[in-house]
Amino acid sequence: MKLSAIVALMMIAPIVVTGYSFVPSRWGMSSTQLKTSRTRSYLVMEDSGKESFSLKTLFGKNKSGGSTQNLRGPLEPHPSARPHIVPLNRLAARDSATSGEQLPFHPDVRSGVLDNGLPYVILPNKSPPGRFEAHLQVFSGSSDELEPQQGIAHLTEHVAYMGSRKRERLFGTGSQTNAYTDFHHTVFYAACPVRAPRGGPNMLPMALDALVDVMEARVESSRLEKERAAVLSEMTMVNTIEYRVECQILSTLHRENRLAKRFPIGKESLIRSWQNEDVRSWHRTHYRPDNVLLYLVGDIDPDEAEKAISAKFGHITAEKQAAGIKLPEIKIEAAELADAVISKSVKAAQSWHYPPVRHDWSVPKGYPIDEKLVSPAEVTGYDLHLQNSYSLDEPVNKIDITEIAPGKKIRPHMFKHELLQAFSLHIFAKRPVEPIVDMESFSRSLARRIALAALQIRLNVGGRSDDPSFTFVEFNQLDSAREGCAVCSLDMTAEPARWRDAICTSLSEIRKLGVYGVTPGEMERYASSLMTDAEQLAAQGDGISHGDQLSHLMETVANGHTFMSPEQAYHMSARALQSLTLEDVNKAAAELCSHITGLNKDSEGSEGDTIAVCCMPKNIDESSEAYCDPESLVQTIYDACQIEVEPEEDVAVPQTLIPEDELAKDVEANPPVWEGGTFTDGTPQTSAEAITRPFTLRRLGNGIRVGVARNPAESQRGHLRLVAPGGRDAEKRLGFKKGSMAIGARTMQEGGAFGPWTREQVELFCVDHLLMVEITCTEEAVTIDFVFPTTNVGNVGFGDNIQLGITGTESVLQVVREIIMGFRWEEDALGRSKQHFRSSHESLQKNLEGISTERIMETITQNDDRFLSIDVDSVNEITLEEAKLAVMSQMLPADLEISIAGDIQVEEVLDMVFNYLGSIPADTNKEFKQASADKVASSVPKIPTPGKFIQLELEDPDPRAVAYVSGSAPNSWGVLSDGTTVAERVMKADPKPKDSYDTQRRSHPLFGHVALSLISEIVNRRLFSTVRERKQLTYDANFSFSNFERLAGGWFLVTVTASKEKAQLALEACKETLAALRKTQAITADNVESAKRVVINRHEGELRTSAYWTQLMSGIQDESIPVKGPLSVTDFLKVVESITPRDLQLTLETLGLDDEDLYTAIGQTILPAGTGEIEDDVVRQAPASIGSRRGGALTG
């Protein structure tokens, strides 16, 4: 019952021209006729022969391989340009034959190659309408760097885009720009409106100009110094323990190739040393037409887009770029590397998107591997795979491969560190990426997905047993363009003392799948899930957002798969699944698990090594159960693979949790009644019968508040949010034990038994009906979020033989009803909840950012438990009865609010709500009601004055620092801790407004909320300009509000990462920026206009998601948020547009910004007692890329 999380790569500072998005998105015509090559498989440099005199002859040809002339004579060939696979992959070879029936290509995709060799892909997409994205992918990343260039790909990314004057023209247009670097590529993007605001010009040429500027980047000393400082600050910021762990994993996984030594962040000593020519030489070497790919996705005309691409990019040639390489030694070494790359690497053999590496494959015996993908460890004359030692190498304690038994080889690695609290194990096998191009390969991919889904659910259900041995486990196989292979991975964490049990449990489940396969019930369940997923995507069609379309397109093209439309994928899935057999799936399961099953002494083994990386706390005594060394790790893995396993048995899963006759009896016994919605923002009461837009708001007779909105933008999908106001504030007000509400909510998440159904049956019911559930407890409420399909799910069979189940909407309402009325509280669920909170608190103590923020919260809230983490002693004291009492005291019907949004029929959903929730008796859970219960939320403690400076030190061998500035602020709706509002204070400070419109605007219930949103954007932009750009003190500075809704008051927090040497200066710069906003550099009209574009664009974009609609509706009928009502949605755009600089300047004064009132803090690391400069069990590499996981930006 858990929602999945997602990830991001290393990117330049949060450069969003409008100051909003901090994460990269998941990626006139010339006189000659535009030439689009869609069938060539290779870019071949060749002499095009002589031609008659023309201006083109005088100034040079635009042919990638021709001998270009200019007034100074012929330009030299580019030292790195070589014939290679066209980056378009299948799009460039869509007519080539395969062994079977080819998959169809998306009919709307247009691709081609300009005369100069630059390839492009265009995909028209009107979701959202009036916007587009342009991504320029450069096929050179850190893995392409020479020995003295380590980190230069990332630095060049900063210089090329941050220094672009044409990029700056996008400021204030509602555009977002950013860039990111990884092993295999550097990507620059611009997400823009089709037209500039207020009837401005067409934005496509402007966006392309910014990307052309990247290709022709000037390297100026001032910009280089700014970006050098930013990169060095980023190096400090990203070097958390999580990234160090990932670097250890990647270094071991790719020991045989360049990726082990070429992390994007690079070497500090080199970064400090480079001059303009070093960066320019890298740029001109790699930023050439044949080494990039341009993607355009959005509300654009393909014909016009092709003309614009040709006009903007057509003049760039590899030869012109080569002329900018002024360092002779770089030319020579770059040419040698280029020769080696095209000789033996997956980049040359399979996809130009891949890094220039080889892999030691781990596959089943007899598995066919294309001989082009089998490369020797050494390439004659050149150490392409960096197996030799170099002066800049970090010394690493490599553990030899262990042949634990004949033909059974394990490549182990161990990483121990003071900041680690848990044991984690990561087991890998690397396989070649299989291009999905025909029905046969497509069917195999579906078989793998079914097998993986079955195993993951088994692991999840088993991991939530009475005594789980692991705290997290995931088994998956993903195609990874950033690594140039498919990686099969087991990621598992456990309490250190339970590491042996965790290994045995997880590996036994994997072996069970590999040996016996899936059950018929699992086959039917997960095949049906795949079909439902494909149907949902097909229903969305062009409604899938630009970002999602682009991520899928980039991933598909990179790995050589066929890019299909959602409708095509649906029809292919239906055909493939109808013919897919249990034997097909079990064969796929056997292949997936072969590196584990092959370790059994009675198996024939597998080809290659099984890679195992263990990460754990340092300084564990050898006599402890938690102690682990390489020998015991390898032996435990081997022993676990000798445990006998039995076939999985099918579980009887209910098709419905509540039979129709049972519901009918309840409806008859407790007849439901609709009542009109009532509001506190001045909106009149709504009818009990009317359907209204944009949402229908009512109450049931039992008191449950209901909001329903139709959102067709997410086809066949819905979101339901149940809110029980109270949270940790109620925990304190009602006298419950510290942490009981939060631990109780997590106990619900970990449990799931209802009525006659066991937890396992309910979890599989949720799986069958594609329900995802997340239960959280905040300071203000217990919230339960559901994501569900709105169509019939839990279906049996395919085609004409299908038997439809109930809809996802009905199934989610059944679960909601059972949570309120029939939830069974179990001790084992409480145990897992406690384990989670103990682990979270202990990890917090070893996290620099986490513990620093905690100390600030302790000080400004005067140790108010509502806003602090739950310590281990408090966690241990909570009993099941106390957790149950705390949560169920909030589950009184009269206090609950249900918001539903999605691709639904409002009347139909209201009928379901009427029956399932309206028939819940009004006195349900009355036995848990507290006599002292008070619905009115309290306030945040008044922040004491004067402020304080807090200093914190955390032991860590690596130097890091983070600084904070904090002070009082209103809550999200403009209410301060003393009960006054932003509007009241603004009008008091401006007693003689210009006209009545000022008073009218400031009296609107939404005024404070909107004003604070705009201030947040303006302050963030100012921090970036001052602290990063002008003073060059940090990579990132961020301003945020606590944004409580029910609690009165709150705080703001400025977070800035910097080196230890610059932390104090960065802190002072943040204070200076805040002070300047009030006095010397007041808010301007341009500031306000830019912030408005950001807020409006974000709001309009999020309106396409059902989750946002439920967020908007939650609290509209809640008396504890008096200014939140229907007007907060219907008047949002009008209020945003009406705000003036004067409004914001006065609103700024409601924050506690006086210097003497500010709370400031610096958290920094110090060397652990008894250690030298740096002395870990292994030497740490610089982090790879922010948030990088398998597949990087291409993760689906």
The whole-angstrom distance between residue 127's C-alpha and the CA centroid of its chain comes to: 20
DSSP 400: P
DSSP 244: H
> What single-letter amino acid sits at 532?
T
Quick check: 754 and 766 in contact, CB under 8 A?
no
What gap in Å lies between CA 1146 and CA 1132, rounded to an integer? Answer: 20
What lies within 8 Å, CB to CB, of 994 at 6+ separation is: none
Q: Which of 133, 145, 227, 607 is catalytic?
A: 227
DSSP letter string, 274-331: --HHHHHHHHHHH-SGGGEEEEEEES--HHHHHHHHHHHHTT--HHHHHTT---HHHH
Tokens of residue 725, six digits:
């106001």
**Rounded to 10 degrees, what is the CA torsion of 481, 484, 490, 493?**
-70
Q: Which of 76, 133, 147, 157 is catalytic?
A: 157
- Beta pairing partners, 480: 485
Quick check: 1021 and 1096 in contact, CB under 8 A?
no
Q: Residue 989: how many CB atoms within 10 A of its CB?
A: 12
Q: Residue 1044: how many CB atoms within 10 A of its CB?
A: 25
Tokens of residue 627, six digits:
């102690």
Our answer to whether residue 157 is catalytic in this structure is: yes
| DSSP element (H, E) containing 621 | none
Produce one character per residue of 287-317: b if its CB has 16 or more CB atoms within 10 Å, e if not. Answer: bbbbbbbbbbbbbbeeeebbebbbbbbbbbb
What lies within 8 Å, CB to CB, of 75 at 6+ separation is: 60, 67, 68, 69, 317, 319, 320, 322, 323
> Measured between alpha carbons, how far is residue 343 from residues 291, 352, 734 in Å?
17, 13, 72
Quick check: 698 and 677 in contact, CB under 8 A?
yes
DSSP letter string, 863-907: S-GGGSPPPHHHHHH--HHHHHHHHHTT--GGG-EEEEEES--HH
> Measured between alpha carbons, how far is residue 578 from residues 519, 566, 573, 686, 794 in Å?
17, 18, 8, 49, 16
What lies within 8 Å, CB to CB, of 353 at 6+ separation is: 87, 89, 137, 139, 184, 185, 347, 481, 557, 558, 559
- Beta pairing partners, 787: 719, 772
User: Is the dihedral angle over the CA atoms 329, 331, 333, 336 positive or is it negative?
Assistant: negative
Q: Residue 1058: how many CB atoms within 10 A of its CB?
A: 28
Q: How many CA atoms lie within 13 A of 992 on its CB side?
A: 0
Helices 221-238, 276-286: axis angle to 10 degrees equals 80
Q: Is 391 exposed, middle or buried (0-12, 13-18, 19+ CB in 10 A)?
A: exposed
Tokens of residue 505, six digits:
């449990």
What gap in Å lies between CA 1184 and CA 12, rounded to an integer? Answer: 14
Quick check: 860 and 966 in contact, CB under 8 A?
yes
What gap in Å lies between CA 410 and CA 1093, rounded to an integer? Answer: 55
Q: Is 130 exposed, middle or buried (0-12, 13-18, 19+ CB in 10 A)?
A: middle
Q: Which residues are identified as catalytic? A: 157, 227
